[in-house]
Amino acid sequence: MTTRIVPIDEAYVEALARFFADLPEGDRTFVKEDADSVEAIRAWLDPQRQWLALDEDQRMVGFLAVLPLRGWSDHVGEIRLVVHPGHRGAGLGRTLARHALRDAVGRGLTKVQVEVVADQEALLAMFTGLGFTGEALLRDHVRDRTGALRDLVLLAHHVDDSWASMRTVGLDAELNGGS
């Protein structure tokens, strides 16, 4: 399957609203942005920090954002990544995460973090495979839409340390998509 990653823009707002609305209830719990309406999405739209994954039929199959933190943490970026359930397990999440890392490095960020619900084992494995390490376990930190409390894992990728290590063993080329 061929997937294209494109910057988000106004033309995709309605499709993005449908993408989020079509997610299973459990997945929508973990979308931090207000994605309940087109107007809400327009309020946080940022083409320089957000991308969409489109399949060969131009259907939206993923969403990605790299959001720099502010103030004393302005060297840190936070990844937000959502893959449509029908496209999981085929490497799209990994492709989007690689895109996020390349963008973060290009922007001069020295640390990239992502929050993952602790029981999302495949997602944890994907990010650790890309050089992320655990920094914190926040117990009962997330309340899902049913009211159940869930643990949250904070993973971080320290760019300078990780990239130096990956260069040593040749993994930087893999992260960059084989180039």
What is the structure's pLDDT at 126?
Answer: 95
Locate the domains of the chain by residue range. 4-175
**Residue 168: predicted pLDDT:** 43
pLDDT at 173: 58
State residue 100's pLDDT score. Answer: 94
Query: Which residues sit opposite 112 in a β-bridge?
Result: 77, 157
* pLDDT for residue 171: 52
**Distance in angstroms (rounded) separating the CA atoms of residues 79 and 67:** 6
pTM: 0.85
Compute CA distances 166 → 78, 146, 155, whole Å. Answer: 21, 41, 17
- The predicted pLDDT at position 5 comes to 96
pLDDT-flagged residues of the chain (< 70): 1, 161-179
Fold for domain 4-175? Aminopeptidase (3.40.630)
